[in-house]
Amino acid sequence: MTSTLDCRGLRVATTGGREVLHGVDYAVAPGEILALVGESGSGKTTAALAALGHFRAGLTCTGGTIAFDGHTESCPDLLSEPAATLRGLRGRLISYVPQDPALSLNPLLRIGTQIDEVLSAHGRDAGAGERTREVLADVGLPTDDAFLARYPHQLSGGQQQRVGIAAAFACRPDVVVLDEPTTGLDVTTQDLVLDTVRELVTRSRTAAVYISHDLAVVAGLADRVAVMRSGEVVETGPVDQVLRSPEHPYTRDLIAAVPDLNRAVSRPELPSSDAPLLRVSGAGKRYGRKTVLDGVDLELAPGECLMLLGESGSGKTTLARGLSGLLDLDAGTVTLRGEELSTPRTAAQRRGVQYVFQSPFASLNPRRTVAGSLEVPLRHLTDMDAGARQARVIDMLNQVRLDESFAGRYPGGLSGGERQRAAIARALVTAPDVLVCDEVTSALDVSVQASVLELLAQVRRELGTAMLFVTHNIALAREVADRIAVLQGGRIVEQGAVDDVLSDPRHSYTRELLAHTPSMSR
């Protein structure tokens, strides 16, 4: 079969001369999904964006060709085309779906207008409104005037991502590049988005390049896989062949790092205790007429990890922030070691419960060094002098396996995994009793995720810290937690030991979450 897109010998270097892609080859046929997989920094995004003739600031193409054979026109080498030609191709014959829909949706424009604009930009004004409704229906969204008049902030994350996919497919492109489009989505919404992508690619015979670090998703979506490491393709082939019988040691290492619901793992021994360390009783929260939390009860023992599961909108982040003191609950109480936590909380109470955000940039100031960010809570929540604070920062960096050289570096100069380790260090620097982790691994590749999970297990073993692990990724359950609490519509619908909940789920909602969880074995 003739390839729609054929990349050969692609070389990319920094403007300083350091080569980051070393002769990359890949090809995609009509109606085929090729997954580019690999760790952060492997070069998969750089290689995929080259299909649009785009290179990030500071990078330049130094060799290779990308042959694009569209259904309506031929481009012998996309990399040699002038900028004006590339602008005409993008969105019309080659389109892009970013990881974050906020990068493709204008918050000031209505949904219908945004898709109409894509069509108008490529000379398809005639029937634009009709095509807009058609492509929204293709991705399973409403097509009525009321929905078209909505703004992006009025949609859920899954709806926003499907609007982005609709815009990408509006002009019936020959090639579409999808950059981690389901990262951050809950498992049921992720399933819907992936089904949408597969259906559109198959029906329109579009060639798709799918960038991902989630091998379980790739196993159920892609036709072929190209595994990248350090700017090179180390293995490529049909998805079943590569993921079931990998030949390269790096591919085997990536597969081994994928969380598996059926894999037994050892868990830290919990200290015996008659009373819970943290107790949440009757937690409630409303926003206007909407009830977000409705009488939630939770307990957390010393050294225990409780996984809080639920879809987007279930209330899990609201609950996590409420028990951390980051927002005020409308009802209920939170007690730590039997003492009710006040509103607002005292410095000692804030020290007791610390929060790790999904994005490290939420707690690491980009204008401060890592040491500077770690020192802030020590300065405000303890009476340590400057020397003691400095020593504590270095000790904490060592605890999260970052050496002393990281103290003087800035967040922008760290990898995603290093930033997340620094954020965890910042939360642990005041020696809290409870650590609340909010989707802390959702944007990490599988090997970095595995190292962060091992770090959290180490913290529990060595420091006895209890953890509330907020996530929508049930596949992590055996790797992380002792118990699971499932939140739906602001209420706990199921709660129990990890093995009990996974092997014999009692609630239909839990069974639904399990059914939608991607697996390498399916």
- Tell me, what's the pLDDT at 450? 84
Residue 273 included in any domain: no
Report yes or no: 381 and 350 within 8 Å, Cβ to Cβ: yes
Q: Rounded mean pLDDT of 6-30?
A: 94
Q: Which of the 8 DSSP states describes residue 506?
A: -
Please give the Cα distance from 489 to 185 (Å, whole number). 17
Q: Rounded mean pLDDT of 160-181?
A: 91
Same-domain pairing of 27 and 59: yes
Neighbours of 123 (CB within 10 A): 10
Report yes or no: 370 and 406 within 8 Å, Cβ to Cβ: yes
Same-domain pairing of 66 and 114: yes
Same-domain pairing of 228 and 354: no
Please give the helix or strand (H or E) that residue 470 lies within, else none. strand 466-471
CATH of the domain at 442: 3.40.50.300
Give the range among 37-41, 63-67, 106-110 with minimum mean pLDDT.
37-41
Number of domains in the chain: 2
Better-scored residue on pLDDT, 432 or 464: 432
Same-domain pairing of 220 and 334: no
Same-domain pairing of 224 and 338: no
- Tell me, what's the pLDDT at 391? 95
Same-domain pairing of 252 and 284: no
Q: In what order do the strands lie in the sheet with 94-97?
A: 94-97, 175-179, 207-212, 33-37, 224-229, 232-238
Does pLDDT of 180 surpass 90? no
Q: Rounded mean pLDDT of 132-152?
A: 92
Instruction: Provide the token pair at 72.
Output: 């309506």
Residue 117 included in any domain: yes
The values of phi and psi at residue 367, to 5°, are -95, 0
Does pLDDT of 403 surpass 50? yes
Helix 111-121 and helix 128-138, axial crossing angle in degrees, nearest 10: 120
- Tell me, what's the pLDDT at 85? 85
Better-scored residue on pLDDT, 403 or 445: 403
- Tell me, what's the pLDDT at 71? 46
Residue 267 included in any domain: no
- Tell me, what's the pLDDT at 126? 64
Same-domain pairing of 285 and 202: no
Q: How confident is the model over 293-326, as pLDDT tens digits?
A: 999 999 999 999 999 999 888 999 999 999 999 9
Q: Rounded mean pLDDT of 109-136?
A: 87
Q: Rounded mean pLDDT of 94-99?
A: 89
Count H helices and E strands in the chain, helices first.
19, 20
Report yes or no: 28 and 191 within 8 Å, Cβ to Cβ: no
Please give the Cα distance from 410 to 396 (Å, whole number). 17
- Tell me, what's the pLDDT at 388? 96
Containing domain of residue 488, as a range? Answer: 278-516
Residue 179 included in any domain: yes
- Tell me, what's the pLDDT at 72? 45
Please give the Cα distance from 458 to 465 (Å, whole number). 10
Residue 261 included in any domain: no
Please give the Cα distance from 248 to 136 (Å, whole number). 41
Does pLDDT of 74 surpass 70? no
Give Cβ neighbours of residue 20 (< 8 Å, ≥ 6 apart). 12, 13, 14, 43, 46, 59, 231
Q: How confident is the model over 500-516, as pLDDT tens digits?
A: 999 999 999 999 999 98
Please give the Cα distance from 7 to 78 (Å, whole number). 10
Residue 321 included in any domain: yes
Q: Which of the 8 DSSP states describes residue 90?
A: B
Same-domain pairing of 341 and 225: no
The percentage of the chain sitting over the pLDDT mark of 70, rounded to a whole number, equals: 96
Mean pLDDT of the chain: 90
Same-domain pairing of 72 and 204: yes
Residue 265 included in any domain: no
pLDDT-based confidence at residue 407 (cuts at 50, 70, 90): very high
